[in-house]
């Protein structure tokens, strides 16, 4: 057996082990969704497959409509779609400006983008909260959407991707008489589909799981997103573990479907963005 074949076998078993380790938490929460909430309190998440206590009661309760779960779910879906769409459009446009044009202060502004990537969001919470309050945006979805629509990481990724696109495409568009807007929309954006898919998944996951900032700015229960709503199920006065565990399991499904549907584009986009520019 040659060295290359041995390496392939080793890598196969290594990534199989990594895959199993990643899937174990999903398996545990799936099992827990079929068990009574009291079992989670007594034993925590575990891998015990006990048919004697497993049932569909939690799922029946989830779809019974006797709670606000699907209101929170709908809020999260709408916010995620709007935030991801705006983030991709604005960040791609900014990145195209950095990659395709020369202008005064370009390098300085791009360095600012890189510096923003290095600042943890937690450091920005207090000044951002103060600004949001001064603008009168508290308890609105605008307060959640606006701070993240020009994502520094997304701008950087798009800029690297666009930098790898041959300049001849832009030059050919100008020779054919296309406007700068036409070149961007008709020539550049179609080429960027893999990068859009990759960033849609990553930004979608971040928006879907976002907890701290929405929790700080939202005060009305009917406006809660799914992470905040699930958190409210645990209180000093009573805990609804039945809905919490099955709701947590159900909340994974949209992102899982999104990733499985676009995984090919995700891999292509991440690979291209990593090596170009």
Per-residue pLDDT of the chain (277 residues; tens, 9 = 90+): 677 788 888 888 998 999 889 888 888 888 888 888 778 778 777 888 888 888 888 888 888 877 888 899 999 999 999 999 999 999 999 999 998 888 888 889 999 998 988 888 888 889 999 999 999 999 999 999 998 888 899 999 999 888 888 888 888 888 888 888 888 988 898 888 888 988 888 898 899 999 999 999 998 888 999 999 988 887 665 678 888 888 888 888 888 887 787 777 666 665 654 444 4
pTM of the model: 0.84
- According to DSSP, the residues that pair with 239 across neighbouring strands are 234
Q: How far apart are CA 274 and CA 161, in angstroms?
A: 8
- Three-class DSSP category at 234: strand
- Specify which residues 238 forms β-bridges with: 235
Q: Give CA–CA dist 3/17, Å, rounded.
A: 21
The beta strand positions in the chain, using DSSP E, are 234-235, 238-239
Orientation of helix 241-275 relative to helix 193-209, angle to 10°: 150
Q: What angle do CA 20, 25, 29 make, to 5 degrees?
A: 135
Phi, psi of 192 (to 5 degrees): -85, 5
């Amino acid at each position: 057996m040659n060295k290359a074949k041995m390496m392939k076998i080793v890598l196969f078993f290594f990534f199989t082990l990594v895959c199993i380790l990643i899937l174990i938490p999903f398996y545990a929460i799936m099992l827990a969704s079929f068990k009574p909430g009291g079992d989670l309190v007594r034993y925590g998440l575990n891998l015990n497959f006990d048919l004697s206590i497993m049932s569909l009661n939690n799922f029946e309760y989830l779809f019974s409509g006797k709670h606000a779960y699907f209101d929170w779910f709908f809020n999260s879906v709408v916010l995620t779609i709007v935030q991801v769409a705006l983030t991709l459009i604005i960040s791609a446009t900014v990145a195209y400006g950095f990659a395709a044009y020369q202008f005064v202060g370009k390098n300085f502004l791009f360095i600012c983008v890189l510096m923003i990537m290095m600042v943890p969001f937690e450091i920005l919470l207090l000044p951002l909260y103060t600004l949001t309050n001064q603008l009168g945006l508290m308890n609105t979805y605008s307060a959640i959407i606006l701070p993240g629509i020009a994502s520094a990481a997304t701008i950087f990724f798009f800029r690297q991707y666009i930098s790898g696109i041959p300049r001849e495409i832009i030059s050919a568009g100008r020779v054919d008489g296309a406007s700068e807007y036409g070149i961007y929309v008709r020539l550049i954006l179609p080429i960027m589909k893999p990068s859009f898919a990759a960033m849609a998944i990553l930004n979608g996951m971040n928006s879907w799981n976002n907890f701290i900032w929405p929790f700080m700015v939202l005060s009305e229960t009917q406006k809660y997103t799914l992470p905040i709503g699930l958190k409210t199920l645990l209180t000093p006065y009573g805990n609804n573990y039945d809905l919490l565990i099955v709701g947590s399991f159900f909340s994974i499904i949209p992102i899982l479907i999104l990733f499985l549907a676009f995984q090919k584009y995700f891999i292509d986009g991440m690979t291209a963005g990593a090596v170009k520019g």
